[in-house]
Structure 1
């Protein structure tokens, strides 16, 4: 208790309502524009540096929405892509074909494409005959376009970094710290995930221009040689019917179109949906190489997919995605929750909901991916299904589709949520008695508002803010370091010819 109001450092919630009313403070347009341009606008501009390239503009828009709505899923797609690139290089390392390195590079660059590889004589011919080396080389050349660093990308990244450094430094000045946390300290820490994801994609340089990929297939289809079985000598001839090529791009015009919709989308954001079918494709090609070398294993199946280490890659990618998500969200929570009044309040609850929903979306999207793969395998293997098999695969198919659609709807809501929340933060919407006293934490009877910071408050708050910045920057750095460590794996080197013709 204090003897006069002038000596008070805090105010109870009920006293606040009585003196100030229950509504928010009046918004200041000057504060709104300053906070928006300093804390949020650079991040929204950075979204333009995400890799796009889908033929349908709605797919590109979906990529943005999913990235903002579920940073966990976006980080996972990036992490699994770089891990797949390292795995395929290791998987082909013992193959002695002179084409092995080129094949690794081609297949790795097709991770963003709805690739389907058909086993049989065509695939065997493609890896066996030296005449087809030209096809591999031509395909690699056509897939050499990149989404990588440019002046525009470097400028956007530099703008975000400089803006973040300056605004964080400025926020530590006592003259600029607003008592009720209307500044964007927590917001800046939350959006650090985007910097790590954009820089990761720029380092990886994914081949994600769908039109260029289609052009690469069109330009190289006629370059493949197959055996002419109509003559006794079985001489080689050029493939005349491109539909017989073992490599094809799914067009989404068959029964699986709704089930495998995300596989058809050309942006790298949707690589989460392609990891299992892509792994199966790689096993088909590697087995064809080993078959030519007279050391076949078996026809790739479900057991080979799990033995390939795909579950470990998925697990590790998921771990680092969650590190990025909860490192940045945790940083925002530390900043907000440890700024007096300490505890869970409106602002911290909003961050918590955003991070939690992002993680839930990622989890159920992963479940949908496994259901989709299982349903696809059932449709392909059950040519004459029984009634119970028909029901099982129908149930599996629509469970995957509905789950995926629900998650995308949730991602839209979550993306709007974080943007609206940021705007409310800048307008002072949360500067009301209920939010500033953290009634969520303390209850109406015990809640209070700090109206004058003591020296102890300033010290504790400064330490919390430094810790929050360190947590956010550190988690983004850990994720970026993991991505960098997976790049440029050692490639298989030729050890001689498979067959001379």
Structure 2
């Protein structure tokens, strides 16, 4: 199972860091600061918490970066295994355990593992795929809304639930028309719906509820712990609140969302269910409907086999890969909608499939079977759209769904990551720089340091990964405009799409390793060093290390922390609310 493999990697990181960090962690900052205040390292370099020099070193609450390096060295704070293990188990482990509740289902373990890496490396991509799932479901329901024909409701439901599967539609030899129209195929729809409704699908279970509750409680305790120790250590305050507590809050709405929609993404089960259903499918013959096996091995609805590197993500069934199936899934739905709409319109006009026989009146609720039988050519004509109707290669409303899903995903990514950056950014050291414009001076906060910089880099790379993969899916679909005889531009597009996807996967692996290593280094006090505590990255020459919080520092810091928590919780809640708006849309009546 991918989560077990990933968890083994995390344990490996823990073991390595627990053995390496003690070698470098040797600075006792409280003792060093006490020595500075006693004048043991000179009287120059003491400042207040805004970085302004103080004349009396004994009154200093902060020191310059240069004095910090000179007096305390460049090493990190003392490593404590008890503190490390406590923070790891309380702040990080619950979130890692929540990964086990994510749906997988691909037939290759590599694809399942890659889905975990992509989710960790780009929460934006995971949120985008989930948002597309519910938007597609609503779109399918709308496309079938005005269609009144037998099994149209089952068709809308099945297509919505099979978004994670690489579906293949075959219209040749009236296969699709036979599946839609022939009364002998009514059992096919009922059987497939029943066989796909397996009892142990990915939905709410005791384990799922427990994992979600565990994370919620852990995050609440993180908030309580951060605010209860706000004045004890300015360099460590909020690290659990900002780091693991807020930056991974995106996991909650994604986990709950997938548990709600319960995607049918198990490749083996769906393949078996479809194969069993296709055994009882019928096609039109010259002398009436015959079992499809008597004609050929082709079926109206089947699964694509492995099609090579260009379609690798489309063929993987883990839900995060839905980004690659937006266009192909839209085309599958349009094939069914076109056939059903044409049959429905002719049915409303009381036109039978066989134009040589009169319309047989039914019981007012169903269509008489005689009206639904004919030759292959008659069925094909019955389900054909008018010649003036043109189909786009891209599909209907794909870009509106792309835009809405993108906004929702980006909002979730940056509300959680942005909250983490905000909390650390306004945690001392928050320096102030002063620039002069004529007679006017302006103060500004520059709290960008190791921790906030790490979170900002993680969010920026995660967004870039999402952008590259979305662009690769667009280019890959363009490369299939003429799949049998691709021109030079299509062949180049195919290579570019594969390159972008592989580059994005590599960056996702690096980004996932980056954020995990960041947390573990943070727990091991690696960032508790002069460079990071002085926010050299943002303050430059004005860098200083706050050693003692004053009362005037705590109130604005609390306000920033509260704002960060509200931002993260609001972003996660709004995304979950967005998902619930589109879950279970009304399906068409028969």
TM-score (norm 1): 0.92
Matched, 1:56 2:108: yes
Residue deviations 1:315-362, cap 9 Å, x none?
100100000000000000110000011211111110011000000000
- 1:297 and 1:326, CA in 2 relative to 1: closer, same or farther beyond 3 A? farther
Cα pair 2:393 2:481 within 8 Å, conserved: no
Query: Shift of the alpha carbon at 1:109?
Result: 1.2
Q: Which residue number corresponds to residue 417 of structure 1?
A: 514
Residue deviations 1:132-182, cap 9 Å, x none?
111111111111132111011110110000011012112101377532026
Structure 1 unaligned blocks of 5 or more: 495-501
- 1: distance between equivalents of 2:230 and 2:471? 50
Partner SS state of residue 482, structure 2: helix
Q: Which residue number corresponds to residue 299 of structure 2?
A: 245
- 2: distance between equivalents of 1:318 and 1:305? 18
Matched, 1:333 2:385: no
Query: Shift of the alpha carbon at 1:48?
Result: 0.5
Matched, 1:460 2:515: no
- 1: distance between equivalents of 2:311 and 2:465? 18
Q: Which residue number corresponds to residue 164 of structure 1?
A: 219
Cα pair 1:290 1:297 within 8 Å, conserved: no
Partner SS state of residue 253, structure 2: helix
- 1:269 and 1:299, CA in 2 relative to 1: closer, same or farther beyond 3 A? farther
Matched, 1:45 2:149: no
Partner SS state of residue 259, structure 1: helix
Q: Which residue number corresponds to residue 200 of structure 1?
A: 257
Query: Shift of the alpha carbon at 1:293?
Result: 3.0
Pick aligned residue for 2:504 from 357, 382, 407: 407
Q: Which has the higher contact order (CA 8 A, sep 6+)?
A: 1
- 1: distance between equivalents of 2:258 and 2:389? 31
Q: Which residue number corresponds to residue 499 of structure 1?
A: none
Dislocated runs of 4+, deviation >6 Å: none
Q: Which residue number corresponds to residue 498 of structure 1?
A: none
Query: Shift of the alpha carbon at 1:302?
Result: 5.4
Residue deviations 1:59-83, cap 9 Å, x none?
1111100000000000000000110
Q: Which residue number corresponds to residue 128 of structure 1?
A: 181
Partner SS state of residue 335, structure 2: helix
Matched, 1:426 2:482: no
Query: Shift of the alpha carbon at 1:378?
Result: 2.3
Pick aligned residue for 2:323 from 272, 285, 290: 272
Structure 2 unaligned blocks of 5 or more: 1-52, 347-384, 431-446
Pick aligned residue for 2:267 from 210, 217, 241: 210
Larger helix proportion of the pair: 1
- 1: distance between equivalents of 2:389 and 2:226? 58
Pick aligned residue for 1:446 from 498, 520, 542: 542
Query: Shift of the alpha carbon at 1:200?
Result: 0.9
Q: Which residue number corresponds to residue 303 of structure 1?
A: 392
Query: Shift of the alpha carbon at 1:221?
Result: 0.8
Instruction: Report 1:31-430 matches (<5 A).
Output: 31-120=83-172, 121-145=174-198, 146-174=201-229, 177-181=232-236, 183-187=239-243, 188-229=245-286, 234-240=287-293, 243-252=297-306, 256-294=307-345, 296-297=385-386, 303=392, 305-306=394-395, 308-342=396-430, 343-380=447-484, 382=485, 389=487, 391-430=488-527
Partner SS state of residue 558, structure 2: helix
Larger radius of gyration: 2
Higher mean C-alpha deviation, range 453-462 or range 371-380:
371-380
Pick aligned residue for 2:75 from 7, 17, 23: 23
- 1:212 and 1:12, CA in 2 relative to 1: closer, same or farther beyond 3 A? same
Report the number of matched residues.
478
Query: Shift of the alpha carbon at 1:301?
Result: 6.2
TM-score (norm 2): 0.79
Cα pair 1:283 1:300 within 8 Å, conserved: no
Cα pair 2:230 2:554 within 8 Å, conserved: no
